[in-house]
Homo-oligomer: A and B are copies of this chain.
Amino acid sequence: MKNMNDIQFGEGTFDELYGHKIIELKENFIRTEIEITSNLHQPMGLVHGGLYSSMAEAAISYAAYFTQDGTWVGVNNNTDFLKSSKEGLLVCTASPLKLGKRSQLWEAKIYNGDNLCAISKVRLSNLNA
């Protein structure tokens, strides 16, 4: 497993653009955060649905990249929106449901405080398999 000290999404990436930060990364687990700002809203003043999908996609892709053998790319992102948010801190935790050599399935849950805002499954395919 690669060294995961101080891993971040990297300068100039989409994750930097929307303020996505990695808080904790270890084998089969990642936790990331986004501080909600108004430029992450849709016009009704709520967090844009795509932000939850993006957060889950990135968190899971990073976790697989750094903790799994192989070169993993997302092939499907299925996100359910459970509760809307206006402000505060979004906290995403993700872990695997199925770790195969060719295909993996991970699940992310995104909370704002005690509220479960979104739940997402991301399927990854191994380009090296």
> Which A residues lie at the B interface, using CB under 8 A?
9-10, 12-18, 38-43, 48-51, 53-58, 61, 73-84, 97-98, 100, 102-103, 105, 116, 119, 121, 123, 125-126, 129
Chain B residue, CB-CB nearest to A17: B39
Q: Which residues of B contact A119 (CB under 8 A)?
A: 97
Are A17 and B17 in contact (CB-based, < 8 A)? Answer: yes
Pick the contact of A58 from B48, B55, B82 — CB < 8 Å? B48
If over half of A's interface residues share one DSSP class (helix, strand or loop), that class is named, otherwise mixed; here it is mixed
21 contacts across the A-B interface (CB closer than 8 A): A9-B43, A12-B38, A13-B43, A14-B51, A17-B18, A18-B18, A42-B58, A42-B61, A48-B54, A50-B58, A53-B54, A53-B57, A53-B79, A73-B81, A75-B80, A76-B81, A76-B123, A80-B98, A82-B97, A82-B105, A98-B116
